[in-house]
Structure 1
């Protein structure tokens, strides 16, 4: 497990780069959204293709543009970099604490993978690769920003109407990641996998 990395300045006063890291984490849960709604349900494993999770509502090589990409007219076909949603139990627990709830379950907010052993999962940089023993490899696209749609799902599940508006406001930096399938294979619950974090350097203009 990686430790805390302090960002040092280089000889020119710019932030020095953070070297690449590799470590092992655990896939503790696999879920699929194959019903009529937003929620997912636990399954023992997921066989993923380059289109994502077959039968999942977010599968596909492309997706229609929405409010997350306002530079395209809504509905424009764009590359689907949001094939899977990843969350961490510790971050969900913190969201629940902030909302004053007993819990926030992965399936309430449409998660596909529950990841343990990655400190600050939501902060993993884009370009991180996740390599699984079943041959599957995922590429992290970036943070899954909390939205009112997920908040409404939490509110409906726990019976607290205030969660619909509070979730987008309080779950920032904790909602997890979205990723796309780089190599097809199998994702099996309760199995280890490798995390490959690329070198990082803070960019400023």
Structure 2
């Protein structure tokens, strides 16, 4: 199947026209770490990352056990850890809160490591996007962080008068939950500094 040749997204031969690569600046508004017993993170001034992720963070490591997000492997199978860091955007969290009818959804409640400002539709950044930080670190975006009831329960714990926020969160946060990424280059992530965002060429795959 190919895109019809009269489609705005196709060339004269019916092939999808690629979107050119982009490069722009953003800001690292916050850094957080999950170094406690629970799911939530806590704010810190900076993070030093290695190729295993954030030292001391619950998601650090070259490998991780397969879970419900990768049902094509038996649960517990060691697989490459492409979920070393969780990234969110303030405007998307505000929209989730609006949809849920709550005053706010804070990044630490849902286990975020990085809060990034200045990226339109952050969750929609394509896999393969590179984030280059002022402290020398570079992250590769693996893809969207699909919302789950676990994060929803964490939000619900802060609003006990509202029932079933765990399920409501899964619906409200779809397409807004942020991204997961892995460390491509070790270095420092300093809150308040700039980010060089490099989006690769995008080409729609069709069969």
TM-score under structure 2 length normalisation: 0.94
**Cα offset, 1:203, TM superposition:** 1.0
Deviation at 1:28, TM superposition (A): 0.2
C-alpha distance in structure 2 between counterparts of 1:29 and 1:170, whole Å: 23
**Structure 1, residues 116-145: CA drift from partner, whole Å, max 9, x if none?**
000000000000000001110000000000
Tell me the CA shift for residue 74 of structure 1: 0.1
Work out whether 1:140 is the aligned partner of 2:144: no
Counterpart residue number, 1:169: 171
Give the alignment partner of residue 191 of structure 2, picking from 189, 192, 203. 189
CA distance in 2, matches of 1:55, 1:127: 26
Paired residue for 2:119?
A: 118
Deviates more, 1:96-105 or 1:160-169: 160-169
Corresponding position: 1:178 with 2:180: yes
Q: How far 1:11 sits from its partner (Å)?
A: 1.3
Corresponding residue for 1:23? 24
**SS of residue in 1 equivalent to 2:95:** helix
1:87-128 Cα shifts (integer Å, max 9, x gaps): 000000000000001100000000000000000000000000
The RMSD of aligned alpha carbons is 0.8
Moved more, 129-138 or 157-166: 157-166
| 1:202 correspondence with 2:168 | no
SS of aligned partner of 1:174: coil
TM-score by length of 1: 0.95
Q: Which residue of the partner structure matches residue 13 of structure 2? A: 12
State the shift of 1:14 in Å.
2.7
Q: Secondary structure at the match of 2:196?
A: strand
Deviates more, 1:84-93 or 1:11-20: 11-20
Which of 1 and 2 has greater Rg? 2
* Alpha-carbon distance in 2 for matches of 1:187, 1:193: 10
Question: Deviations along 1:147-192, whole A, 9 cap, x unmatched?
Answer: 0100010101222332111011121000000000000000000111
Displacement of 1:10 after TM fit?
1.0
Is 1:97 paired with 2:98? yes
Count of equivalent residues: 199
**Counterpart-to-counterpart distance in 1, 2:38 and 2:158:** 13
